[in-house]
């Protein structure tokens, strides 16, 4: 099922897809999009690579264990950022007023870009893990871990 045309197109297209995904994630507070949409775009790039080059090559680039750890890490970062509000004596997920900055700038809105990054990490690794579990069936028949 390895196609030269598909592999060449994917190799050319992959950096643009990933840069667009990162752009959607990091501009989540000033333009349409955000963690979920950007994470889905990033996940689509990994899934396209794993489908066109074979699952084994995909596992080499983004191992399944790392994807699973990143998924938990995204949730933990979100909770930790939320708890900083409680530590400062306010409600959960309270924003930092000193970091708000100028509205419309990239570095503004306090905690929200960090929260969006955590959500993007979690969504991306969740979708990648989901598709890996489907694609790997029959790939590791002898060695089960």
Size of the site for another protein (CB under 8 A): 19
Shortest Å, Cβ 142 to another protein: 19
What is the C-alpha to C-alpha distance for residues 11 and 22, in angstroms, rounded to an integer? 18
Q: Which of 75, 74, 48, 76 is nearest to 62 (CA)?
A: 48
By CB under 8 A, tell whether 89 contacts another protein: no
By CB under 8 A, tell whether 74 contacts another protein: no
Q: Which is nearer to another protein, 6 or 37 (CB)?
A: 37
Shortest Å, Cβ 44 to another protein: 4
Q: Which member of 43, 67, 119, 121 binds another protein (CB under 8 A)?
A: 43
Handedness of CA 40, 45, 46, 49 (dihedral sign): positive
By CB under 8 A, tell whether 115 contacts another protein: no
The string of DSSP letters for 60-113 reads HHS-HHHHHHHHHHHHHHHHHHHHHHHHTTS-TT---GGG--STTSSS-STTHH
Q: Which member of 14, 30, 44, 93 binds another protein (CB under 8 A)?
A: 44
Q: Which member of 22, 40, 70, 77 binds another protein (CB under 8 A)?
A: 40
By CB under 8 A, tell whether 99 contacts another protein: no
Handedness of CA 76, 26, 124, 18 (dihedral sign): negative
Please, what is the end-to-end C-alpha distance for the chain in angstroms?
A: 26
Q: Which residues bind another protein (CB under 8 A)?
A: 24, 32-34, 36-37, 40-41, 43-44, 47-48, 51, 127, 130-131, 134-135, 137
């Amino acid at each position: 099922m390895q196609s030269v045309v598909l592999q060449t197109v994917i190799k050319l297209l992959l950096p643009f897809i990933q840069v667009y995904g990162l752009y959607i994630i990091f501009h989540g507070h000033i333009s349409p999009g955000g963690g979920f949409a950007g994470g889905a775009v990033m996940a689509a790039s990994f899934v396209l690579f794993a489908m066109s080059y074979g699952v084994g090559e995909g596992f080499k680039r983004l191992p399944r264990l790392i994807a699973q750890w990143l998924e938990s890490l995204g949730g933990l970062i979100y909770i930790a950022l939320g708890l900083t509000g409680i530590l400062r004596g306010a409600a959960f997920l309270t924003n930092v007023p000193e970091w708000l900055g100028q509205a419309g700038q990239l570095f503004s809105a306090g905690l929200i870009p960090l929260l969006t990054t955590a959500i993007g990490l979690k969504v991306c690794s969740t979708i990648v893990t989901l598709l890996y579990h489907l694609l790997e069936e029959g790939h590791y028949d002898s060695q089960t871990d």
